[in-house]
Amino acid sequence: MHKRTLLTAALMTALSAGANAATFHFTGNIANNTDVVRTTFTLDADATNVRIWTDSFQSGTNFDPITALWNASTGSLIAQNDDNPGIQPGQTYYDSGIVLSSLAAGTYWFTIAAYANFAPGPNYSDGFGYDGQSPIAIAAWCQPASNNCLNQKGTEWSLWLDGVSSATDPNQTVPEPTALALVGLGLAGLASLRHRKAV
């Protein structure tokens, strides 16, 4: 009985620690050089080791990613990175990412864009460098650093978030506020019918 109690206590400690820091992995594709992929993640408590990185460049198989970290509450740019392939094995030379030794509890955005679609300003509302330009398909795009089209790339991105509490898949669409309101009305109607039947 005593061993079971100790085992249960150890398991509960491990689960509570794991609930505050997890690893998430999302993949997808972008179509154009103007596209920006955005995920939202949260930290339930101040964190001491948050790592977010791409491993999709694959030595030139796919496009060269640029990543950025934003405060979701204020829209402020926290960090932006073009090349950081030393975060995790599996990355290759143009992969990107950000490592933070400390990050306050809160909600954040992390974005992936194709080189050289940098965030030019200090706030998400400032947009990205290629905003307003005609989109060019990634597969047919000559990147600005090149004078030829020999560097045509695949469209795949692969994103890892480590040390965060939760993260949303960028491929999932967020319901419009009107759709959420309709769902709420429907649930209220069901609750009202249930209440009438009970009476």
Count structural domains, the chain.
1
On whether residue 9 sits in a domain, the answer given is no
Q: How far is CA 63 from the centre of its chain?
A: 17
Three-state DSSP class for 26?
strand
Question: What is the CATH number for 23?
Answer: 2.60.120.380
State which residues form the domain around 66: 19-198
On whether residue 166 sits in a domain, the answer given is yes
In the structure, how many helices (H) and strands (E) does the chain have?
A: 2, 9
Does 155 have pLDDT greater than 70? yes
For residue 195, which amino acid is it?
H
pLDDT in tens, 5-47: 433 333 333 333 444 689 999 999 999 999 999 999 999 999 9
- Mean pLDDT over all residues of the chain? 82
Does 183 have pLDDT greater than 90? no
| Pairwise CA distance, residues 180 & 44, whole Å | 25
